[in-house]
Amino acid sequence: MTTTYTLQDGGKITATCAADFVTKLRESSRFDSQCTDQEYMYHFADRFHDQTGNVVRADSPEHFLEDLSTNGYVNVK
């Protein structure tokens, strides 16, 4: 089953699971697209915290996606 996620900037990602979401987000990124998914989540979480003051857990794709959703960066459609 696939889920479509709408990003804060209006972009869309269709993914089968949280790990697939992270991979697709990384591959479409201007920043750190050549990192591993784990490195990308840590770098993204740091940037997100610097910009918004909100904490995003980067210990697993599931926590990462959950926190992005909670903080309004991602909406599930």
Tens digits of residue pLDDT in 7-64: 999 999 999 999 999 999 999 998 888 999 999 999 999 999 999 999 999 999 999 9
Rounded Cα gap, residues 74 and 65, in angstroms = 8
Helices 37-52/61-70 angle, 10° precision: 20
Q: Is 54 left (phi over 0), alpha (psi -120 to 50) or beta?
A: beta
Rounded Cα gap, residues 62 and 65, in angstroms = 5
**Domain limits of the chain?**
3-72
Q: Around Cβ 21, how many Cβ atoms within 10 Å?
A: 22
Comparing CA positions, the residue from 43, 72, 73, 47 lying closest to residue 58 is: 43
- pLDDT of 18: 97
- pLDDT of residue 65 exceeding 80, the answer is yes
